[in-house]
Amino acid sequence: MAGERIQNLSSAVDDFRRARRRAGLRALLARIRGESNELFSYEEVLRQLRGKIFATPTLEEIPLRLIRGSVGRYREFTREFLPRSDQQEERWARVKSAVTGLSGVPPIEVYQIGEVYFVQDGNHRVSVAREMGLETIEAYVTRVETPVPLRASDQPDDLIIKAEYADFVAATRLDRLRPDANLVVTAPGRYADLLEHIEVHRYYMGQNQQREVSWEEAVAHWHDSVYLPVAETIRGRGLLRGFPRRTEADLYLWITRYRSELEQALGWDISTDAAALELTRNLNRTPPDADGIRGLRRRVLECEPGDGQPMLTEPDVPANREFQDLLVPLSPGAMDWTAVELAVMVAALEEARLDGLCLIQPRTAQSFALIDDLNSEFLRRCEGAGVSGKMAIEAGPAAERLSARAGLADLVVVPYGRGDRLMLTRLLRDSPRPILIANGKVPDALTDILVVLDSSEQSQQALYLATYAALRWSSRISLLGAVDLGRRSGEILQRAHDYLASREVDSIAVSANAWRQPAAETIEKYDLALTGTVVRNANAQLGHKGNLGRLLAGNGCPVLICT
């Protein structure tokens, strides 16, 4: 019997030495990968996460893989409970011999915080059990409640952020005011920014309401009226797919900071939606289905009315305005005001803001008097129509700067003359927003609209806008197949007619013979031509044989293009 015990002890010593070699190898791999190899300190986690013990111990079988910390002995073992010192050999080997012998092993004692267990008594038993490949161990578990959960995947460095979150929750009492709120961030120092946002919001609440606003009231109101709308934009646009390791609160801080910077630089009122999409677009992180304007929801036409698109008993009148922010380029000196007049008319119709972008050439002396006169005339035209307008000034190639700022508006309104071809070509290629081209005349109202359709998704967006125009502006809708549709024209027009009819919108089909006469004669009968197209070669489409070129031929009506 004594010989057997000695043999078991000798075998346990060999196992310990193998475990020590593995511990050295894992430590090297952790340094190479930049990962932590440390156990959590129970005392540190309890202090930083403001933990409180509310339960008495219960005997349970717990997963060994979730034991990630220790009470007092966290420096003696690696994150996988491999021994870190040769001095542990005798104790470790005796425990291993007992576990594999007749005496067995008593349950260990642990604290549980979130998903993670911390060993109070039994560190060597855990190390031996893991070395033996066991999956569970019997333990007396005492649960500790914290306002911030701890996950098994968390690293010790994550404690800094979790501790800040615990302080933030304690300061705001969001866990009580808004139990479902989740404002987790992934970088230290961000919670101080959130607290500053709440303080500023509280100040302006007091100013607007002329009273003292309590801290709790300000926190709840900030969450509901400031944070939540941005979070809903992030969710609705699927923006987190472009930032897989970030959170909604991270994007909220980036978007609000970027929006503030844009407003200071341009003097415009920038919507949260526009700032969010522009930021992600500039970072090349915009999901493929998040680059349209807020109102151009992709209303598909694959299913017939009554099959996925039921006939409606009441008109589907859009609740929100499609175009809340319009952008129009301005130029000092000889200015053609046609595009501005058209933009002002649409802005008045939509009760929208109008942003003017004064484009000046770098290294070219611009008269301050010319720019001041331009701004005065622009504001005068806006005020005359009851439109809120502001002008910003930027230097650089006109096409490049306008294309860069196009994402900040819901609609870009541009002139179309001999010198505007380059700017329009660039916009057709790059703009995430629809483009309204002022071509010749500015109508008194958008009463008659011609919709030119092809089989593209952009054409479906144009059809949705036509529905919107009919229901919101009381426009009359005429449908025309694109010039190169051929035999598919009848089918596409019939489906478009059925879609409009399901929204209780009447439409008139225009004969394809309209393309056989000069396009200007067809276009000039309408107040607006509306189309959507995939722009692969803008120059070709703007040529006299392309759809856009035909629509823009002569001095016809304005053309709105969904790209």
CATH number at residue 46: 3.90.1530.10
CB atoms under 10 Å from CB of 383, counted, come to 12
Given a cut of 50, is residue 294 above it in pLDDT?
no
Cα-based distances in Å from 284 to 49, 271, 281, 292, 425 = 36, 20, 5, 15, 21
Average pLDDT value for the chain: 81
Which own/partner pairs from 378-381 qualify as long-range (CB within 8 Å, at least 24 positions apart)? 378/330, 378/340, 381/337, 381/340, 381/341, 381/344
pLDDT of residue 355: 94
Using a pLDDT cut of 70, give the percent of the chain over it. 82
147 plus 191 within the same structural domain = no
Q: How confident is the model at residue 91 (pLDDT cuts 50, 70, 90)?
A: confident
Are both 146 and 261 inside the same structural domain?
A: no
Scan for tokens 């009273």, then name that residue.
211
**Are residues 431 and 508 located together in one domain of the fold?**
no
Confidence check: pLDDT of 391 > 50? yes
Are 230 and 258 contacting, i.e. CB atoms less than 8 angstroms apart?
Answer: no
C-beta separation of 503 from 467 below 8 A: yes
Assess if residue 487 is contained within a domain: yes
Q: Name the residue with tokens 């425990």.
A: 95
**Residue 349 is assigned to a structural domain of this protein:** yes
487 and 548 inside one domain: yes
Q: Residue 15 has what pLDDT?
A: 78
Which pair of structure tokens corresponds to residue 91?
A: 């104790």
Distance, CA of 411 to CA of 386 (rounded, Å): 19
Integer CA distances (angstroms), 293 to 290, 325, 432, in order: 8, 10, 8
Let me know if residue 407 belongs to a domain.
Answer: yes
Most confident stretch, 86-95, 216-225, 299-308, 542-551? 216-225
Average of per-residue pLDDT across 48-71: 86
* Structure-token pair, residue 248: 């909604």
Rg (CA), the chain: 33
User: pLDDT digits over 196-226, tens only?
Assistant: 999 999 999 999 999 999 999 999 999 999 9
Of 136-140, 153-157, 400-404, the poorest mean pLDDT is in: 153-157
Output the domain CATH number for residue 550.
Answer: 3.40.50.620
pLDDT of residue 61: 93
- 97 and 15 both lie in a single domain: yes
pLDDT of 314: 36
Give per-residue pLDDT as tens, 361-376.
765 555 677 888 899 9
pLDDT at 512 over 60: yes
Do residues 20 and 82 lie in contact, with contact meaning Cβ atoms separated by under 8 Å?
yes
pLDDT of residue 188: 74
Torsional sign, CA 357, 442, 374, 349: negative
- Which amino acid type is present at position 447? T
Average pLDDT of span 227-254 = 86
81 falls within a domain: yes
Domain annotation covers residue 307: no
Q: Do 362 and 421 belong to one domain?
A: yes
pLDDT digits (tens, 9 = 90+) for 326-359: 999 998 876 789 999 999 999 999 999 999 999 8
Secondary structure class of 188 (helix, strand, coil): coil
Neighbours of 498 (CB within 10 A): 16
Q: What is the pLDDT of residue 6?
A: 59
445 and 338 both lie in a single domain: no
Task: Give the whole-angstrom CA distance, residue 443 versus residue 422.
Answer: 25
Q: Which domain, by its residues, includes 555?
A: 441-563
Task: Show which of 438, 465, 494 is a domain's final residue.
Answer: 438
In a domain, 239, yes or no: yes
- CA–CA distance, 99 with 122 (Å, rounded to integer): 12
Q: What pLDDT shows up at residue 197?
A: 93
The residue behind tokens 């050439």 is 361
Kindly indicate the confidence band of residue 278, based on its pLDDT and cuts at 50, 70 and 90: confident
**Residues 30-57, mean pLDDT to the nearest whole number:** 77
**Of the ranges 94-98, 395-399, 483-487, which one carries the lowest mean pLDDT score?**
483-487
488 and 536 together in one domain: yes
**Final residue of a structural domain among 156, 183, 203:** 156
Q: In the listed set 379, 414, 438, which residue is the last one of a domain according to the structure?
A: 438
Which pLDDT does position 300 carry in this prediction? 30
- Domain contains 207: yes
Per-residue pLDDT, averaged over 94-119, amounts to 83
Residues 7 and 151 in one domain: yes
- 82 shares a domain with 38: yes
pLDDT in tens, 441-488: 888 999 999 998 888 888 888 888 999 999 889 999 999 888 776 677
pLDDT band at 5 (very low <50, low <70, confident <90, very high): low
Consecutive H or E run containing 171: helix 158-172
Q: Does the structure show a pLDDT above 70 at 540?
A: no
Q: Is residue 311 part of a domain?
A: no
- Average pLDDT, integer, range 181-186: 88
**Of 67-76, 145-154, 347-356, 376-385, where does mean pLDDT reach its minimum?**
145-154
Same domain, yes or no: 91 and 191: no
Residue 296 has pLDDT above 80, yes or no: no
**448 and 406 in one domain?**
no
**Residue 158 in tokens:** 């994550």
State the amino acid at position 77 in one-letter form.
F
As a whole number of angstroms, the distance between CA 411 and CA 122 comes to 67
463, 495, 477: which is closest to 305 by C-alpha?
Answer: 495
Domain count across the chain = 4
Q: What is the pTM of this model?
A: 0.66
